[in-house]
Structure 1
Amino acid sequence: MKSHQTAQTMKPATAAKKLGVYLQATPSEFQEGVVSRAELNALQADPPEWLRELRRNGPHPRPVVAAKLGISISGLARAGVTDALTTEQVDALKTENPEWLQKERATQTEVRKETARLKEKQRTEDEA
């Protein structure tokens, strides 16, 4: 007897996260339904215009905003940035380069250096 495999589905919030878009900016039919793995793959392979537009202009979710600014999500929170931002708003922040952004970028650079140092230390310990 063969068991029938059901299609894997996910909540719209999960799909939006995987697509790197802000859920509240997606079309209502996307927000109200469920997304199958096949549908997600299709959206990634051949994004419809609404998805291309969201990725290009936003609003972007905090992880995408943080990445575009070169800082951590925690850095956004420390700066009081809790809302999704458009590409235009992110670009304006980059241009203004406020003190908090400079500080968060420096912090992120130090974190990356420390992570690389620890990784190298672990590698050399593993070889010994």
Structure 2
Amino acid sequence: MKFFYPLILASLFFCSSAFAEEHVAKALEHVNEAVTHGKAGHVGLFVEHAAKSIAHAEEALKVEKGQSKGHVESSIHHLHEAIKEEKSGHSAVATKHAEDAESHLIQASNTEKK
């Protein structure tokens, strides 16, 4: 029976890691869309994709650890700022925040694979 405990713990670790990777990938997908729509001036679609990116990043944050967690937290901050700026009519600033969030999600994704 003692043999199974490490096996169970290892499988939980890998499942949570895969869960985080999946949500970081989805968050990155949506932030890419937000940046594209921000540059095109599509306010509604920008906000929609930024919000979806936040939702996925927050799910990833539940199991993230280390450097990757810090990048996900930073991306969430930038996405909240992006939505706030977009709703205030500052599209260029909003898009810059979305690009910063995108950069952090890319770094989180690269950190997870190491």
TM-score (norm: length of structure 1):
0.25
Greater helix fraction, Structure 1 or Structure 2: 2
Higher Cα Rg: structure 1 or 2?
A: 1
